[in-house]
């Protein structure tokens, strides 16, 4: 008989250990999941900034490539040499291929290259002007410049549209990340369970039931249990108690510890407050509040409990 009892106890112990291990594993997995989300958020912001720099650089290189094509064609038409420009064109095309590697993209390096290309283009403008004077074709100059301006305007519009599209996608990702963060915050909120309101008379005698006579009610005691939650951080937490009289007004006295706190971006009056060290063990919390000789008004009173920006519990009691 004793051996059977020992076997049953051993089985229960093994099952309890397995359940605790499973719970710990779930908490650990959730922690890693949250960390991964935060890491992804940082990576997304970095990639977004680099991608925008790559897009701007590519558009500038496309513009330079188009200007090179125009100058090569015109110089050939005017009888000039284009060997050096063809080599530069190859370099520009190679640069356009290399910037696809976003991770190794160096914006400063390409800014210097673009500045060199633009200096070269300006020098070729002088060569073209000289060739035009030599060939006596001033009318074609306006046509070429007009075509270049149109190309630049088109390139600029493409760049604006591309950046706007990417910015819209970035805002959507940021909104999803904020929504996820809000859900995690709500899941980690405290919750007050088993709220009980008892009456204390002048001698400190306690009475329960929820309905009390005004002449025998000197103080009220509000007791509740903070439920366990593996997502809630173990630290010091401020707990706010609000008692609303039958007319809906908050019972408070700044001289005895009442004050203000913020809830839903609004300042609210609290009746009493205390700071507790939350240990996630289902600990009990109690408030004792008296009106300093004044009686509670007859009727239904509402109890509200707040912490860390959330209303974590509600109860009531009646005075007759």
Q: Residue 47 — pLDDT band, cuts 50, 70, 90?
A: low
* Residue 286 tokens, joined: 């109690």
| CA–CA gap between residue 127 and residue 276 (Å, rounded) | 81
Give residue 2's pLDDT. Answer: 58
Give residue 212's pLDDT. Answer: 93
Of 180-184, 228-232, 245-249, the one with minimum mean pLDDT is 180-184
The CA-atom distances, in angstroms, between 124 and each of 23, 60, 83, 90 are 73, 18, 12, 17
6 vs 232, higher pLDDT:
232
Give residue 177's pLDDT. Answer: 47
Q: State whether the Cα torsion 35-36-37-41 is positive or negative.
A: positive
Cα angle 94-75-58, degrees, rounded to a multiple of 5: 25
Confirm if 135 and 75 have CB atoms less than 8 A apart.
no
Nearest of 166, 157, 310 to residue 238 by alpha carbon: 310
pLDDT beyond 50 at 183: no
Residue 186 neighbours by CB under 8 Å, 6+ apart: 310
The percent of residues in the chain predicted with pLDDT above 90, rounded, is 32
Confirm if 260 and 243 have CB atoms less than 8 A apart.
no
Give residue 49's pLDDT. Answer: 57
* Beta-strand pair 310-319/211-212: parallel
Q: What are phi and psi of 282, to 5 degrees?
A: 75, 35
Mean of all residue pLDDT scores within the chain = 81
Give residue 180's pLDDT. Answer: 43
38 vs 268, higher pLDDT:
268
189 vs 138, higher pLDDT:
189
Give residue 29's pLDDT. Answer: 66
Mean pLDDT of the 222-249 span: 94
Mean pLDDT of the 118-125 span: 85
pLDDT beyond 80 at 296: yes
Q: What is the set of domains in the chain, with CATH numbers? A: 2-186 (no CATH), 192-319 (2.60.40.10)
pLDDT beyond 90 at 133: no
Give residue 234's pLDDT. Answer: 93
Nearest of 275, 303, 268 to residue 289 by alpha carbon: 303
Residue 48 neighbours by CB under 8 Å, 6+ apart: 166, 170
Confirm if 70 and 148 have CB atoms less than 8 A apart.
yes
pLDDT beyond 50 at 181: no
224 vs 157, higher pLDDT:
224
Residue 242 neighbours by CB under 8 Å, 6+ apart: 250, 268, 269, 270, 271, 302, 303, 304, 305, 306
Give residue 55's pLDDT. Answer: 79
Nearest of 320, 282, 281, 286 to residue 303 by alpha carbon: 286
Q: Residue 303 — pLDDT band, cuts 50, 70, 90?
A: very high
């Amino acid at each position: 008989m004793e051996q059977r009892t020992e076997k049953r106890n051993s089985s229960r112990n093994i099952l309890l250990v397995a359940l605790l291990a499973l719970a710990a594993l779930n908490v650990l997995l959730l922690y890693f999941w949250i960390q991964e989300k935060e890491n992804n958020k940082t990576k997304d912001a970095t990639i977004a900034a680099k991608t925008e720099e790559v897009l701007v650089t590519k558009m500038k290189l496309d513009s330079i490539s188009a200007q090179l094509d125009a100058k090569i064609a015109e110089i050939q038409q005017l009888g000039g040499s284009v060997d050096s420009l063809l080599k530069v064109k190859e370099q520009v095309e190679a640069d356009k291929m290399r910037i696809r590697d976003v991770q190794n993209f160096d914006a400063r390096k390409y800014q210097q290259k673009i500045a060199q290309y633009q200096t070269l283009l300006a020098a070729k403008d002088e060569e073209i002007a000289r060739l035009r004077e030599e060939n006596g074709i001033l009318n074609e100059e306006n046509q070429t410049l007009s075509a270049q301006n149109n190309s630049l305007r088109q390139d600029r519009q493409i760049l604006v549209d591309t950046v706007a599209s990417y910015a819209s996608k970035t805002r959507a990702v940021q909104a999803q990340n904020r929504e996820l963060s809000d859900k995690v915050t709500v899941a980690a909120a405290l919750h007050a369970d088993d709220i009980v309101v008892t009456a204390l008379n002048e001698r400190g005698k306690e009475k329960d039931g929820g309905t009390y006579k005004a002449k025998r009610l000197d103080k009220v005691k509000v007791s509740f249990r903070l439920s366990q939650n593996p997502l809630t951080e173990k630290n010091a937490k401020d707990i706010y108690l609000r008692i609303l009289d039958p007319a809906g007004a908050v019972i408070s006295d700044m001289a005895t510890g009442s004050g203000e706190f913020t809830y839903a971006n609004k300042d609210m009056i609290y009746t009493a407050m205390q700071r507790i060290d939350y240990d996630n063990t289902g600990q009990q919390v109690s408030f004792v509040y008296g009106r300093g000789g004044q009686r509670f008004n007859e009727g239904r009173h509402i109890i509200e409990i707040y912490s860390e920006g959330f209303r974590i519990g509600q109860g009531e009691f009646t005075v007759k």
